[in-house]
Amino acid sequence: MLGALIAVALIVWVALDSGDSNAGDTQNIEAEVVSVAALRRAAAAQATPIYWAGATQGADLELSRPAPDRTYVRYLPPGVEAGDKRRFLTVGSYSFENPTAALRSRSEEPGGVLATAPGGGVVYFERTDPKSVYLAYPDTEVEIEVFAPEFKEALQLVTDGRIVPVE
C-alpha cells in the first residue's frame, strides 16, 4: 500500500513539475502572435480549453501549442516578437485527469500552499520557491499554470478570478 502511494505521488510530482519548466520558457516551441479573434477560434477548435488572463492593453498575445494537450498564451510587451526567449506573463493550459486532486495532494508536501480561487478553483504554489501558480476547477480536466516574472502578479491574477477560459 505504501509503495503504491509513493508511486502515485511520484507520478503526480513528475506531471506537475513538468509545468514548472515550461510556462515561462517558450524557446523550443513554435509560437505566433495572434489576435483575440484568432485565439478564440483556436480555443473553439481544440478539445482542451485554453485559459488566459483576458486581453491586456499594450500587450500582444502569443499562442503556442507544443502538444495537442498543452497550450500557452503569453503576453508580449510592445516590440517583442513571438518566440522571444525572455520570460513574460504566461498562462498554460494542460489536459490533466483530476487536477484538483493532484494539486491538493501536492500541497501536502513541505512548502506546499493550497488556496482557493473564485468559482471553486483550487490553487497551489510552493512557498519556499514560488515560480508559478497552479489552478484547477472541479469537474474540469484542465490544469492551469500561471507564470509571471513577479510571482505576486501571478498569484493576484489567480486569486482575483482573472484566469478564465477563452470563449
Length of the chain, in residues: 167
Average of pLDDT values for 136-165?
A: 97
Distance CA 91, CA 50 (A): 9
Instruction: Inform me whether the pLDDT recorded for 127 exceeds 70.
Output: yes
Is 3 in a helix, a strand, or coil?
helix
Confidence of residue 29 (pLDDT cuts 50, 70, 90): low
Question: Which of 26 and 117 is assigned the larger pLDDT?
Answer: 117
User: The pTM is what?
Assistant: 0.83
Instruction: Inform me whether the pLDDT recorded for 56 exceeds 80.
Output: yes
Average of pLDDT values for 42-58?
A: 95
Q: Contact, 17 vs 129, CB < 8 A?
A: no
Distance CA 31, CA 83 (A): 6
Number of independent structural domains in the chain = 1
Cell of 106: 501536492
User: Residue 57 belongs to what domain range?
Assistant: 2-165
Cell of 60: 500582444
Cell of 109: 508536501
